[in-house]
Amino acid sequence: MPKSKLKREAAGNAGETLPDLAELCRIHEIGLDLIERSHDVDELLDRVLDEYESRLKDLPSDALDARSTAPHPASLGKLRGLVMFATQAAALKEKAIVAGELKRRAAMLEAANSRLDGVLAALSSGVMIFSAQGAFLTANVAARELAGAADDTALANLIAHGVPRGGEAEIDVPIAGGGRRTLLVARRAMTGDAGSEVVLVTDVTERNRAVEERVRLEKLAEALKTLSVLSHKINNPLTALLGRAQILQAHKTNDPGVVKAAAVIEEASLRIADLIRELAQVVKDGRQGAVDELLDMSAATPPTTSRR
């Protein structure tokens, strides 16, 4: 029988006898069983191959033999039953392969997500993800701890209202035990996911403190440098002034005004010399407290002119 005719016979023409009702029910049951197994292509194939073997053994030899001129109608009935089963089996196998591939990719995605979650959890910086619609999706442990937010919604609101999209800003948040901390929050677009954002949260409280301390130390260094120059510049003329005052006092003179003036000059010069020595000590120590103390002491010291 020609192949094309055999194919038509196997498929069954309209009006011709179909497999009997019991066989149709069995094929239906097998189909349901195959659907149950179609989550796993190997399990499905095991069942399909068993059924093929069983049906092929039961199929008369002439049903598939192209050399046979006229297969028996009973053979054709069994062949149609086999084809009905085979059509379902082949379709389910292809679906199972696709489902398996989807499952494999889903597992890969899940693994990648787990790795990412692990990385995020290990980060000391806070990381949050927002969807393209601006909805909060997830945050790592550090983000929740840093922001001190009671829940994800509060955390999301804090960021959404405190920092513009694509920008960055410092926001102050309370600390559970009291006090406040400063967070640097940067909102950045996520590559490959249009509209989505990743938000990086860093505690800059200590950094800001360090910056302030550095500025203070730089000012102190500048002040000490000035004091050093001043003490050097003043000391030279002061030495000459003190020397001249002592010369005046050594001269025998009856003018009480000159004697008193020489004493005042000497006393003032000694006071300035003391001050210069203290300044030199401050420069040597490099202590802010000493500078403040010195400045306070200088302010409290009456000007020499008032003591005349």
Among 27, 34, 82, 279, binds another protein (CB under 8 A): 82
Among 16, 29, 65, 218, binds another protein (CB under 8 A): 65
Structure-token pair, residue 204? 């800059």
Q: Residue 200, interface with another protein (CB under 8 A)?
A: no
Q: Residue 35, interface with another protein (CB under 8 A)?
A: no
Q: Residue 89, interface with another protein (CB under 8 A)?
A: yes
Nearer to another protein (CB atom), residue 96 or residue 158: 96
Nearer to another protein (CB atom), residue 67 or residue 161: 67
Break the chain down into helix, strand, coil percent, rounded to 5. 70, 10, 20
Nearer to another protein (CB atom), residue 63 or residue 279: 63
Among 3, 161, 252, 308, binds another protein (CB under 8 A): 3
To which residue do tokens 């030199």 refer?
280
Q: What is the DSSP code (8-state) at residue 243?
A: H
Q: Residue 234, interface with another protein (CB under 8 A)?
A: no
- Output b/e per residue, 206-243; b: 16+ Cβ within 10 A: eeeeeeeeeeeeeeeeebbeebeeebeeeeeebeebbe
Helices 205-250/256-285 angle, 10° precision: 150
**Any residues with CB less than 8 A from the CB of 193 and at least 6 apart, and which?**
132
Q: In terms of residues, how long is the chain? A: 308
User: Least distance from C-beta 21 to another protein, angstroms?
Assistant: 22
Among 93, 181, 244, 287, binds another protein (CB under 8 A): 93
Question: Max alpha carbon distance in the chain (Å)?
Answer: 162
Among 24, 25, 32, 66, binds another protein (CB under 8 A): 66
Q: How far apart are CA 103 and CA 107, in angstroms?
A: 6
Sign of the Cα pseudo-torsion (71, 72, 75, 76, in order): positive
Nearer to another protein (CB atom), residue 56 or residue 98: 56
Among 83, 143, 146, 224, binds another protein (CB under 8 A): 83
Q: How far apart are CA 129 and CA 206, in angstroms?
A: 25
Task: Write the interaction track for another protein spanning residues 111-150; mark x where CB under 8 A is met and - where it is not.
Answer: ----------------------------------------
Strand partners, 203: 183
Q: Residue 23, interface with another protein (CB under 8 A)?
A: no
Nearer to another protein (CB atom), residue 71 or residue 126: 71
Binding site for another protein (CB under 8 A): 3, 6-7, 10, 42, 45-46, 48-49, 52-53, 56-57, 59-67, 79, 82-83, 86-87, 89-90, 93-94
